[in-house]
Structure formats: C-alpha cells, structure tokens
Amino acid sequence: MTIKETAQRAIQLMDLTSLNNNDSVEVISNLCAAAKTDFGSPAAICVYPEMIVWSKLELARLGLHSVKVATVTNFPEGSENVDRAQAETERAVAAGADEVDVVFPYKALIAGNAQVGFELVKACKEACADKAKLKVIIESGELKTAALIRQASEIAISAGADFIKTSTGKVPVNATLEATEIMLKAIQASGAKCGFKAAGGVRTADDAAQYLELAASIMGIDWISADNFRFGASSLLGNLLSTLNNAEAVEKDGY
C-alpha cells in the first residue's frame, strides 16, 4: 500500500476527537466541518457527552450522515464506581451517542481487583443495549506490564466490549505498538467479535502505516475496516491531509 493509500484509508478509520475542557459549540462545529474532506470522512467524531446533540445536528447539516458520534464515560480517571459509569453511559446513549468509550477501572486492576472491571464493562454494555457500541479504554500506558494489558483486554472482551482501546490520551504514555500487539493477540485468542482502537500518539501517515501493518499481520488484512479498527486522534487528520495533498501535487507535476 502506498503512503497515499494508507493516508486515505486512515482517514476513514479515524475517530476525529476533541476532548478539551474548553470545548465550545464553535469548537465542535469546526470539528464537524473538518470531518468533510476531499478524501472521505472519518468513521466518527468523539466529543464530551454535553456535545452529543450539537454534533448530531452539525453533522446532519453538513450532510455527513455516515459519521457516527462517539463520547466518553467514566473519563478520564477510570473510577471503579459501577453505578456511576452505567448511569453516565445510559445518559450518553439517551442523548444519541452511537458509540461510548468507557474507561476501564485500571487502577483497581493494578491493585489486584479484577472483578470490578468485569462488572463495570458488563453494566455499561447493558446500558448500550443494541443502540450503541461500547469501546473500553484499558489505559495501557498506565497498566505498563504485558500481563496487566493482556488481563485488562481479556476482561473487557469477556464482559462484552465491542472494541478495546489503548488510551484516554490524557496520560504520559498512550498508544504504543507493543501494547497494540498484546491487545490484538488477546482479541485473536478470544475468538470474539471485538475491534481495536489506537488512541493518542498516532500523528502521521507513517505512524498509521505501522499500526495497520501490525493489525494485518495478526488479524488479516480483510479484518481492517471501520467496524473493527479505529484511530483516535486530534492532530492526525491534518497530517494525513497534508500527505494526500502533497501526493496530489506531485502527481499533477508529473513526477
């Protein structure tokens, strides 16, 4: 796959994200507008729960009916309060979220409590019912060890996660190829229909290519689609568009 083909594919696998404390309706309108490119649109935009309704309206106004709206719950701290996480997820789904990215109680797992993670994911999956997909953020950079990353992945999958996701993007270490390999192999070993999302730290077409190559080597190239694989990013889109526009300029110049 050429770098241009990789860049275009990566756009269509993106959750274009804005999760900043100063997000306003103007910021989110601009985010939605950015989703309309000459090279296709992201799979979803990811915003805070209070911006779900506005995002839906803006995407509809722009004619971007295929772009999903994702949101976050139990974010970013990964509390072990199951009732709160479930209630937040229920409210997000009621507001119209197509996908919910919930933070796994990773600190509890580090402390030796594996059961609460299963219960929290299961409760949030029930809250999503058949109305929204549940993406579980295991916070791999905080779990650190291969054993804990694998355990969190296995717990989330067994509790019904539709996706497992590396990171919140709010900690020092976010997506890495090492964590991605562990998580993809957990999905493969489970035999479950579960997707994967790399979030934070994927900034260029070259970065995206490495993740796509790794996923293809473990899961097969046909597995890679927006139903199974996502990038969560804010700055990635601009870099992908630069790659594509530069490639087009070169082609027009005949080189």
Active site residues: 101, 165, 197
Other CB atoms within 10 Å distance of the CB of residue 195 = 21
Sign of the torsion formed by the C-alpha atoms of 30, 34, 36 and 37: positive
Structure tokens at 242: 């630069």
Residue 211 φ/ψ, nearest 5 degrees? -70, -40
**Collapsing DSSP states into helix, strand and coil, what is residue 148?**
helix
* C-alpha to C-alpha distance for 178 and 253, rounded to whole angstroms: 40
**Are 224 and 191 a contacting pair, CB within 8 Å?**
no
Please, which residues bridge with residue 69 across strands?
45
**Are 171 and 141 a contacting pair, CB within 8 Å?**
yes
**Are 167 and 134 a contacting pair, CB within 8 Å?**
no
Residue entry with tokens 């020092």 = 172
Residue entry with tokens 């479930």 = 86
Task: Single out the residue of 68, 72, 98 nearest to residue 85, CA to CA.
Answer: 72
**Are 198 and 173 a contacting pair, CB within 8 Å?**
no
